[in-house]
Amino acid sequence: MSSPHQPSDTASTAEFIRALKTSAGTARAGDQTIGQFLDQLGQGNAWLIALILTLPFIQPLPTGPIATFGGLAFAGMGWRLIRGDESVWLPMRIRSTRPGGSTWNAFSGFGCGLLRLVGRLSRTERMVWLVEAVGRRGAGWMILLGGLLVAVPFLVVPLQNSLPALIVFFACVGRLQRDGVMYLLALLSLVVTLVYFALVTWVLFFAAEQSWMWLRGILKA
């Protein structure tokens, strides 16, 4: 997951907070499209949008088909980040949509609150050597893998969406804050997710095998 050191143009959490406030003010003054909003957020907006989109999946209950679409969206973002594009891609029809000022106010307030919370949970410029070693591509791979694991169509089991969503969450926080500890948590979440999925798969196969043996015994009786 290593890549040569490259200077990061990704905006910091403080810069994103200022951009969100500016965007809300622009929306109140007149119409603003989703595309204009993303352009105002500037370089690295994919990290912020991916971070926000993890929240519905972090809660412990499965989200059903929504997880499949959300996971594939994360995987798509991760692939674009690996290829060097740190901006969100949306179809022109969606980019040209003009939500009302109240929508922008709510989104701006929510985004600013989330980023302030991130600032309390994380520290900037911590274990920078690891941040540089992982780089944009390494974080992009973690988001891609996390997204694919979110999209796995397991049976309804607790934590099936929340564990892989934490991979994406920590990877985004690590990139925005340049915090290597968050990258370590993302890698730990990946390991825990793989172990958990393997255990669930084994339990399901074991239960199916035992059920078949029980049914076969009844049929022979």
Residue 214 placed within a domain: no
Give this prediction's pTM.
0.83
Note whether residue 199 is domain-resident.
no
CA–CA separation, 119 and 111 (whole Å): 12
Residue 220 falls inside a structural domain: no
Query: What does the DSSP 8-state code read for residue 31?
Result: -
Which residues is 179 bridged to in the sheet? 126
Q: Give 106-149 pLDDT, tens digit per residue.
A: 888 888 888 888 888 888 888 888 888 888 899 999 999 999 99
Range of the domain at 80: 13-193
**Residue range 56-75, pLDDT digits in tens:** 888 877 777 888 899 999 99
**Residue at 211 is within a domain:** no
Provide the domain count of the chain.
1
Give CA torsion, residues 162, 164, 166, 171, to 10 deg. -160
Query: 3-state DSSP call for residue 104?
Result: helix
| Residue 181 in domain | yes
Residue 33, domain member (yes or no): yes
